[in-house]
Amino acid sequence: MEIRLTPEEQTFRAQVRDWLHNNLPTEERPTDWRGWREFDLAWQKTQYDGGWAGIAWPKEYGGRGLTLLEQVIWFEECARVKAPHRGVTSVGINHGGPTLITRGTEEQKQFHLPKILRGDVVWCQGFSEPNAGSDLAGLTTRAEIDGDHLVVNGSKIWTSYAHMADYQELLVRTDPNAPKHKGITWVICHMDYPGIEVRPIMTMVDPEDFHFCQVFYNDVRIPIANVVGEINDGWNVANATLGFERGTGFISDQVYFAQLVEDMIEMVRDPARQAYRTADETADILGRLAVSRSEMAAIRAMTYATVSRAAKGVPGLEGSMIRLYFSEAQQKALRLAMDILGPVGLERGNMHSWTRHYLRAFASTIAAGSSDVQRNIIGERILGLPKGPKAA
Ligand SMILES: Cc1cc2nc3c(=O)[nH]c(=O)nc-3n(C[C@H](O)[C@H](O)[C@H](O)COP(=O)(O)OP(=O)(O)OC[C@H]3O[C@@H](n4cnc5c(N)ncnc54)[C@H](O)[C@@H]3O)c2cc1C
């Protein structure tokens, strides 16, 4: 597949390149979470001030009103110069904001969207629960209506950035007697509401690098005006959110990862790393590298095809295909990066950035729906295959 840009798109790319050249942050992203939040919000504000935030968002909410293809060009140029990537603004930008654009009230859009784009706020996602991950519709966090408020009790888990967030996309059960997909509501929760407790969860990457939390809700009162869509229609709204998350939310990761594979090729050329390898091992690495590079090219072609089909609106189910292919190709490539890196990759104290990428990638076949769940979606909802037998 040949990807040919129009003269206008080429001019756009040149403008992006020029702006990034003059505005890229020079310092590293801090590792402590307060510094991390401040850094990501400042970078978001710089993009906003330069007119590069929300490239495909409508103009009336502070975006540029351009196409998804121009958004992809932006990501490609950011990846080329290693601009800060996948930070604390990702939930708001990638699926919180887009959900409000398609399903929110005018008041919700006017209030929240400019704040997200300007880098004033951080959003997190409160969907998963200790007993409701893949089976998201089985969630039990309860919300009872009391006058013009919902009163929420329960717990969410694996909430990325909850300890840094101002707002949350929260799914609650408002009708426990309805069929499980029917009694759910999608509501905007301010993380400062009384009764919310956030506890961090450490990961294997390293003790400082926690981005996960468990969130507890104890009689948390949320105005009904914060409901997005209708009460008890949250499953439909959540599907829009997941459509954005799985469909367009990972485009920047795909583009950035293709650049990482190019960096791996440079790493192989480093004579210091060649010293400990036999000729057979080198041949094996080169073969695997060729496969990884062609997989990245396939992902790029799939991404461009999706983007030109999706135009505007909620992305279709094919996001699950790219998500599945990408996350598995990414894990394979990062295992290869560890083989190229050699013994240095085993150091824990001063962990190498490739080791960090490698350890983080274990999560990529789980986050936003596991590979098994993506395969179910592809089989049942795209290919129309019959559902498998229910687990006992
Ligand atoms: C890095 C990362 C970030 C995350 N961030 C967030 C966040 O910000 N907010 C949030 O709400 N959640 C978040 N999650 C949670 C994520 O959505 C869930 O982990 C995911 O949906 C899987 O749910 P689970 O962990 O409960 O596993 P389970 O659903 O218990 O699955 C366990 C295993 O069973 C398999 N399985 C389950 N059901 C089926 C089935 N029907 N058919 C075949 N196999 C099946 C799964 O594939 C998996 O291998 C995050 C997860 C990760 C890893």
Per-position pLDDT tens, the chain of length 392: 567 889 999 999 999 999 999 999 999 888 888 999 999 999 999 999 999 999 999 999 999 999 888 998 999 999 999 999 889 999 999 999 999 999 999 999 999 999 999 999 999 999 999 999 999 999 999 999 999 999 999 999 999 999 999 999 999 999 999 999 999 999 999 999 999 999 999 888 766 667 889 999 999 999 999 999 999 999 999 999 998 888 788 888 888 999 999 999 998 888 877 777 888 988 999 999 999 999 999 998 888 887 877 665 556 777 888 889 999 999 999 999 999 988 888 887 777 889 989 998 999 999 988 999 999 999 999 999 998 766 55
Instruction: Assess whether 259 and 368 both reside in one domain.
Output: yes
Instruction: Assess whether 77 and 140 both reside in one domain.
Output: no
Please tell me the distance from the alpha carbon of residue 191 to that of residue 213, in angstroms, as a whole number: 13
Closest atom of ligand 1 relative to the 132 alpha carbon: 26
Q: Is the shortest distance between the CB of 363 and ligand 1 below 6 Å?
A: yes
Q: How far does residue 126's CA lie from ligand 1's centre (Å)?
A: 13
**Domain-terminating residue out of 210, 235, 260:** 235
pLDDT in tens, 193-220: 999 999 999 888 766 667 889 999 999 9
Please tell me the distance from the alpha carbon of residue 268 to that of residue 285, in angstroms, as a whole number: 8
Instruction: Assess whether 144 and 261 both reside in one domain.
Output: no
Instruction: Assess whether 113 and 131 both reside in one domain.
Output: no
The answer for residues whose C-beta is within 8 angstroms of residue 303's C-beta and 6 or more apart is 72, 251, 254, 255, 322
Instruction: Assess whether 93 and 137 both reside in one domain.
Output: no
Q: How far does residue 327's CA lie from ligand 1's centre (Å)?
A: 14
Q: Tell me which of 77, 129, 169, 245 is the catalytic residue.
A: 245
Q: Give domain status of residue 316, yes or no.
A: yes
- In this prediction, residue 104 carries a pLDDT of 98
- In this prediction, residue 298 carries a pLDDT of 93
- In this prediction, residue 263 carries a pLDDT of 92
Q: Give domain status of residue 240, yes or no.
A: no
- In this prediction, residue 5 carries a pLDDT of 87
Active site residue 245: yes
- In this prediction, residue 313 carries a pLDDT of 57
CATH number at residue 176: 2.40.110.10
Instruction: Assess whether 256 and 377 both reside in one domain.
Output: yes
Q: Is the shortest distance between the CB of 369 and ligand 1 below 6 Å?
A: yes
- Show the domain range for 218: 124-235
Q: Give domain status of residue 307, yes or no.
A: yes
Q: Is the shortest distance between the CB of 158 and ligand 1 below 6 Å?
A: yes
Closest to 351 (Cα-Cα) out of 5, 31, 24: 31
- In this prediction, residue 225 carries a pLDDT of 98
Instruction: Assess whether 296 and 345 both reside in one domain.
Output: yes
Please tell me the distance from the alpha carbon of residue 107 to that of residue 29, in angstroms, as a whole number: 34
Tell me the CA distances in angstroms from 319 to 91, 96, 324, 357, 358, one per residue in order: 17, 17, 9, 23, 23
Query: Percentage of the chain surpassing pLDDT 90?
Result: 70
Instruction: Assess whether 67 and 183 both reside in one domain.
Output: no
**CA atoms in the 13 A half-sphere facing the CB of 328:** 12
Of all helices (H) and strands (E), which one includes residue 140?
Answer: none
- In this prediction, residue 314 carries a pLDDT of 59
Of all helices (H) and strands (E), which one includes residue 340?
Answer: helix 319-341
**Residue nearest atom 35 in ligand 1 by C-alpha distance:** 372
Per the structure, how many domains does the chain have? 3
Instruction: Assess whether 12 and 112 both reside in one domain.
Output: yes
